[in-house]
């Protein structure tokens, strides 16, 4: 299974110490150089910059042949969507609502940080309540009601 990733999910998975679930869920994880640059910026958390500077072998960087200019998206999101159009991955890993909408208009299947955490929990790769609690400790933005619903579904699955 191939996934192309934008910077936000990589950033948050590193911050909550669950980035290593990606190669367990997906056989290939690819990011464009523009995403590498975003994760390397001075404003990124030190843990994230360290991760990207010592990038694991499972995280592949690959350039899109052409980057579509998409209004209201930053260069990393534009590059990730463009690379996804070229590689036809199983998913584009992206959190930003506008980016997700732009990807879906282009018929690119999307998954976000929370979706990755849910899949990992379903495969017993992590404890979802702990992962969500860590995510709540970051600057990640999502409606609390969505996280509560996710935890409720997880509890029901675990009880079966």
Which H or E run contains 140? Answer: none
Do 99 and 77 meet the contact criterion of CB atoms below 8 Å apart? Answer: yes
State both tokens at 91.
């998913």
Structure confidence at residue 17 (pLDDT)? 97
Kindly tell me the number of DSSP H helices and DSSP E strands found in the chain: 9, 5
**What structural domains does the chain harbor?**
2-113 (3.40.50.1010), 115-159 (no CATH)
Structure confidence at residue 32 (pLDDT)? 98
Give me the residues of the chain with pLDDT under 70, please. none
Tell me the C-alpha distance between 79 and 77, whole Å.
5
Structure confidence at residue 36 (pLDDT)? 98
Integer angstrom CA distances of residue 107 from 62, 86, 110: 21, 12, 9
């Amino acid at each position: 299974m191939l996934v192309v990733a934008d910077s936000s999910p990589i950033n948050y998975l590193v911050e909550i110490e669950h980035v290593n679930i990606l190669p367990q869920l997906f056989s290939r994880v690819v990011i464009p150089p523009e995403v590498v640059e975003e994760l390397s910026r001075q404003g990124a958390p030190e843990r994230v910059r360290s991760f990207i500077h010592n990038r694991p072998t499972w995280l592949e960087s690959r350039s899109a042949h052409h980057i579509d200019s998409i209004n209201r998206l930053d260069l990393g999101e534009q590059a990730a969507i463009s690379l996804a159009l070229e590689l036809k991955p199983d998913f584009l890993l992206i959190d930003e609502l506008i980016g997700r909408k732009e990807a879906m208009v282009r018929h690119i299947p999307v998954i976000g940080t929370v979706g990755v955490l849910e899949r990992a929990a379903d495969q017993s790769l992590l404890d979802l309540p702990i992962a969500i609690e860590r995510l709540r400790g970051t600057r990640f933005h999502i409606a609390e009601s969505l996280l509560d619903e996710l935890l409720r579904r997880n509890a029901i699955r675990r009880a079966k």
